[in-house]
Amino acid sequence: MEVSGWNGVPNPEHKTLDGAYVRLEPLQAEAHASSLFRASQAPGAEDRFRYLFDEPPTDLGAFSEWVSKLEPSRDPMFFAVIDKRTGLTEGRQTLMRINRAHGVIEIGNILWGPAIARTRAATEALFLFADYIFALGYRRFEWKCNDLNVPSKRAAKRFGFQYEGLFRRHMVVKGQSRDTAWFSMLDSEWPRLRVGYLRWLNPENFDSSGQQLSKLRFEP
């Protein structure tokens, strides 16, 4: 398929992306380390970090230093996920493997703490990234995970990513060989997916306790 007039895409800006339920802010130690440390240490941390490249933090000072080193990084580009109900940092995620020449970008380093995991906040955090990068002209948005990470693969499919295959012995992570499952969504698919997200994220789709009234779905 010919792509006429293609000149690549700009780098994403490291800027605040504001939604109805969450706000994504450039990750900064002073603003976010303390509450992100708390969210990272919450019960279930071992499971949440099992397939991440880093380990659950155990010391706030060391964790703050680690966050400080990430602040200037532009690939991966770290964002704090702020729960707008409380103003607390409840997670983090990155834009990474940014390929401007081909219009390809990936979401990674996802840590959604128990306060937002499997809620409309986490779904909106993903939506804000997708809506932003496709508006910039990116052609392909990727999600990759350890093939053993069943919850991550399930989430990718729920979010509208298409499974593309398995990269065998793709990495060595924490002393373990990793087979990587690849998923993607395309710019041509985003208008349809976006309608489904906006319908699901509508406040009228949730009861007083924040429980969904209808599931996230995408019309053909």
Classify residue 156 as exposed, middle or buried by CB count within 10 Å of its CB (0-12, 13-18, 19+). buried
Mean pLDDT for the stretch of residues 96-121: 98
Check: CATH 3.40.630.30 for 17-205? yes
Q: How much is the mean pLDDT over the chain?
A: 97
Reported confidence tier of residue 31, pLDDT bands at 50, 70, 90: very high
Q: What is the pLDDT of residue 77?
A: 98
Mean pLDDT for the stretch of residues 65-79: 98
Q: What is the pLDDT of residue 3?
A: 87
Q: What is the pLDDT of residue 220?
A: 87
Kindly report the pTM of this predicted structure. 0.97
Q: Give the model confidence (pLDDT) of 54-64 as tens digits.
A: 999 999 999 99
Q: Give the model confidence (pLDDT) of 162-184 as tens digits.
A: 999 999 999 999 999 999 999 99
Q: Give the model confidence (pLDDT) of 150-160 as tens digits.
A: 999 999 999 99
Q: What is the pLDDT of residue 4?
A: 86
3-state secondary structure the chain: CCCCCCCCCCCCCCCCEECCCEEEEECCHHHHHHHHHHHHHCCCHHHHHCCCCCCCCCCHHHHHHHHHHHCCCCCCEEEEEEECCCCEEEEEEEEEEEECCCCEEEEEEEEECCCCCCCHHHHHHHHHHHHHHHHCCCCEEEEEEECCCHHHHHHHHHCCCEEEEEEEEEEEECCEEEEEEEEEEECCCHHHHHHHHHHHHCHHHECCCCCECCCCCCCC
Q: Where are the domains of the chain?
A: 17-205
Q: Give the model confidence (pLDDT) of 89-102 as tens digits.
A: 999 999 999 999 99
CB-CB neighbours of 155 under 10 Å: 21
